[in-house]
Structure 1
Amino acid sequence: MTKDEIAEFFRLLAERTPNPETELDYVNDYTLLVAVVLSAQATDAGVNKATKALFEEVRTPQAMVALGEAKLRHHIRTIGLFNTKAKNVIALSEALIAKHGGAVPADRDALMKLPGVGRKTANVVMNTAFGAETFAVDTHIFRVSNRTGLAPGKDVLAVERKLEKRVPQPYRLGAHHWLILHGRYVCKARRPECWRCVVRHICRYKAKTPPPGTGPAPRASRGHGQAKE
Structure 2
Amino acid sequence: MDAAKWHARLASGHWFSHLPEALQQSLLAASRLRSLAAGQFLFKRGDPPCGLYAVLDGAVRISAVNAQGKEAVLSLVETPYWFGEICLFDNLPRTHDAQASGPCTLLQVPQAGMLDLLEKHPAYWRDVALLMSHKLRLSLINIEQMSLMPASARLAHRLLMIAQGYGEIDQARRTLQLPQEDVAAMLGLSRQTTNSLLKALEQQGIIGLSYGAIELLDLKRLQHAAGL
- Structure ranking higher in helix proportion: 1
TM class by shorter chain equals under 0.3
- Structure ranking higher in strand proportion: 2
